[in-house]
């Protein structure tokens, strides 16, 4: 445990299951192409490319961050979340409802992710569950206030990370990805899947 409420499960997804997730993601990306999100206000592009699976997807553009039911470029609904991903959620989330959204982050060539909080969801009682695929990344983790002390943990292919409880609103990001550390993705790089419960269950 790196912080109260954060759980790291190294190698939770075995190689065979990682390979079938990659196949499912290739299908999903055909239906919902990767897009480059823009920072609200500044319009600066993210260095990661993104897409989503599920009934809702997370998007960012000049108007802000939000969840929406359709792809921003094609306006078609996001592809369904693969069953294997829902099963991982069921095993680790300790939360009785399904996630509606699975954000797919694709890191290539020096892409990284600045420190941020995941707070666009209505229900912070649900954790955010992430699955790492491909090259190892340096994940940085802090407290709930920007500028506080931080620590790091390496996330390798097949690792699952759960941010729940007291850690749900902690700042976190990806400092760097170590190229050539995994053979999973033929083109190299890293994929991170984050599952989120968006709506408060009734
Ligand atoms: C990443 N992950 O690993 C970025 N968010 O590429 C996240 O932003 C994240 O890993 C919430 C919970 C777990 C995460
Ligand atoms: Fe996040």
- Centre of ligand 1 from the C-alpha of residue 174, in Å: 8
**% of the chain exceeding 70 in pLDDT:** 99
Using CA positions, which residue lies closest to atom 7 of ligand 1? 173
Mean pLDDT of the chain: 96
What's the pTM? 0.96
CATH number of domain containing 97: 2.60.120.590
Q: Does residue 202 form part of some domain? A: no
Query: Is 201 inside any structural domain?
Result: no
The response to whether residue 105 sits with its C-beta less than 6 Å from ligand 1 reads yes
Residues 6+ apart with CB under 8 A from 202: none
Q: How far apart are CA 69 and CA 74, in angstroms?
A: 12
Beta bridge partner(s), residue 124: none
Q: Quick one: which of 31, 20, 130 has its CA closest to 83?
A: 20
Length of the chain: 202
Residue-wise pLDDT tens digits, 105-128: 999 999 999 999 999 999 899 999
Q: 189 lies in which domain range?
A: 6-196
List, in sequence order, the alpha helices (H) in the chain: 15-31, 83-92
């Amino acid at each position: 445990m790196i912080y109260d409420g954060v759980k790291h499960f190294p190698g939770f997804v075995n190689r065979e299951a990682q390979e079938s997730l990659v196949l499912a993601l290739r299908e999903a990306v055909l239906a919902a192409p990767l897009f480059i999100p823009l920072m609200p206000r500044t319009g600066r592009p993210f260095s990661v490319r993104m897409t989503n699976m599920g009934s809702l997807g997370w998007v960012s553009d000049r108007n802000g961050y939000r969840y929406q039911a359709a792809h921003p470029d094609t306006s078609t609904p996001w592809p369904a979340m693969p069953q294997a991903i829902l099963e991982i959620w069921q095993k680790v989330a300790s939360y009785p409802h399904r996630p509606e959204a699975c954000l797919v982050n694709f890191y290539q060539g020096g892409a990284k992710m600045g420190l941020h909080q995941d707070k666009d969801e209505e229900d912070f009682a649900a954790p955010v569950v992430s699955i790492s695929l491909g090259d190892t990344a340096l994940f940085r983790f802090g407290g709930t206030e920007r500028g506080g002390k931080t620590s790091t943990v390496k996330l390798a292919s097949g690792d699952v990370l759960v941010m729940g409880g007291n850690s749900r609103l902690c700042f976190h990001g990806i400092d760097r990805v170590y190229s050539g550390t995994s053979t999973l993705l033929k083109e190299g790089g890293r994929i991170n899947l984050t599952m989120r419960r968006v709506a408060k269950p009734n």
